[in-house]
Amino acid sequence: MNPRERFLAIAHFRKPDRVPVGGAPRKATLDRWYSEGLPRNIDVGRYFEFDPSGSISTYPAEGFDWLADTKGAIDLGPVPSFEYRILEENDRYRLWIDGLGIKQRGFKHDWETEWSGFATRQFLEFPVKNREDFVRVRERYKPDVSARYPGNWDELVRRWRSRDYPLGVSIRGPFWWARDMMGLFQMLRKFHAESELMHEVVDFCVDFQTKALHKGLDDIDVDFAMISEDMAYKSGPMISPKMAREFLLEPYRTLALFLRKHGVDTIIVDSDGNCEPLIPLWLESGMNGISPCEVAAGIDIVAIRRKYPFLVIMGGIDKRKLSADEKTIEQEVLIKVPFMVKTGGYFPSVDHAVPADVSLENFKHYLSFTRKICGWQNS
């Protein structure tokens, strides 16, 4: 099987020739691995023999504008984007406004290492504080094909039609979308105090993205969708299942129906934290997968598989265990992977980015040991 055939077999609960094993390192982790012998001038995915995949769309991450590469994808960010400005800077801190219009402060040394500063930033101000702000900001989200599709789109379509790897579409979910506009606490308050506005915001999110993606999904067969939501803490969701049902169920249904009409039947919600209470809502809406299944937040993928036999699951391998000894790594894999692979619909991977306390040797052992369980005869 090629990587695309393999992905589709797993996602549809069929038997693949082997199951791919994943785990993406942080930049700080790569720096450590370089010092431990990882070649610098080599593609990391190719070095570790990860199955390749691609995406037809992209959107900006808060504060990290350079991570959104719109040259080979549909741009689902604001057009024009907000002006990126550094407001203040010294040896320790940087204060800036990003392309989403979010004012934030972060340690300068964290900034220089990209993702390592992601969790330590302080969000100070968001572009939407009231309905008038929302009306202004939504003018930047017009589904104009000429502004959002790359100039070499026809060439990309020809290339993708002959691909042998899975191709996805990446979307900000309505919860993530509203949070980018308003900030978490203001958004949650407005769910209570300004329900009419919040229905308008989340509905507009879906309306824009479905219109912007219509041409793309007409032109090319896409294998999966990744819905970024990040709507849970360690102890549970940031929003109650009842409120999520009130505000998000119908937008989710609309989005899932649009995707399925275009042949996309693997729809994965990506959320950190303990999102388990929201799984019934996602399944009801037509979404059928979860990632990355953080163990530290109490997610037990074996228990979830028993409860939801046909839920596609990605991740669930405790990243903290990879910094221990080989026996600990093997125990973590053995209590999960054999059962999950046998029941199907599972993509083994670390439950978030691999942290810098994991050595290159340990990561290689995790890959080798897990791959033997997953049908890699030569690992």
Instruction: Band the pLDDT of 28: cuts 50, 70, 90.
Output: confident
**Dihedral sign computed on CA atoms, order 309, 363, 335, 372:** positive
pLDDT of residue 70: 54
In one-letter notation, the amino acid at residue 360 is L
pLDDT surpasses 90 at 290: yes
The pLDDT tens digits of the residues spanning 277-289 come to: 999 999 999 999 9
**Residues β-bridged to residue 96:** 86, 104
Looking at residue 74, what DSSP letter applies?
Answer: E
pLDDT of residue 111: 47
pLDDT surpasses 70 at 9: yes
Indicate the CATH number of 3-79+128-373 among 3.30.565.10, 3.20.20.210, 3.40.630.30, 3.20.20.70. Answer: 3.20.20.210
pLDDT of residue 63: 57
Judged by average pLDDT, the poorest of 86-90, 194-198, 208-212, 316-320 is 86-90
pLDDT of residue 267: 98
Percentage of the chain with pLDDT > 70?
A: 94
Residues 6+ apart with CB under 8 A from 203: 250, 251
Mean pLDDT of 39-58: 95
pLDDT of residue 91: 84
Mean pLDDT of the chain: 93
pLDDT of residue 49: 96
pTM of the model: 0.94
Of 301, 205, 289, nearest to 247 (Cα)?
205
Mean pLDDT of 111-118: 47
Residue 74 near residue 212 (C-beta atoms within 8 A): yes
- Residue ranges covered by each domain of the chain: 3-79+128-373
Mean pLDDT of 221-246: 97
pLDDT of residue 114: 47
pLDDT surpasses 80 at 374: yes
Instruction: Band the pLDDT of 116: cuts 50, 70, 90.
Output: very low
Instruction: Return d(Cα 18, Cα 3) in angstroms, integer.
Output: 10
**Dihedral sign computed on CA atoms, order 208, 274, 50, 309:** negative
Instruction: Return d(Cα 307, Cα 312) in angstroms, integer.
Output: 12
Instruction: Return d(Cα 61, Cα 33) in angstroms, integer.
Output: 26
Q: CA separation (Å) from 305 to 43, 218, 310, 346?
A: 33, 33, 8, 9
pLDDT of residue 378: 60
pLDDT of residue 307: 98
Q: What is the C-alpha radius of gyration for the chain, rounded to an integer number of angstroms?
A: 21
The pLDDT tens digits of the residues spanning 330-344 come to: 999 999 999 999 999
pLDDT surpasses 70 at 115: no
Q: From the CB of residue 84, how many other CB atoms can be counted at a distance below 10 Å?
A: 14
Instruction: Return d(Cα 360, Cα 35) in angstroms, integer.
Output: 9
Bridge-based pairing of strands 167-172 and 122-125 is unpaired
Phi and psi dihedrals of 289, rounded to 5? -150, 155
Judged by average pLDDT, the poorest of 44-58, 108-122, 275-289 is 108-122
What SS3 class is residue 119? coil
Instruction: Return d(Cα 221, Cα 121) in angstroms, integer.
Output: 38
Looking at residue 275, what DSSP letter applies?
Answer: -
Phi and psi dihedrals of 305, rounded to 5? -60, -40
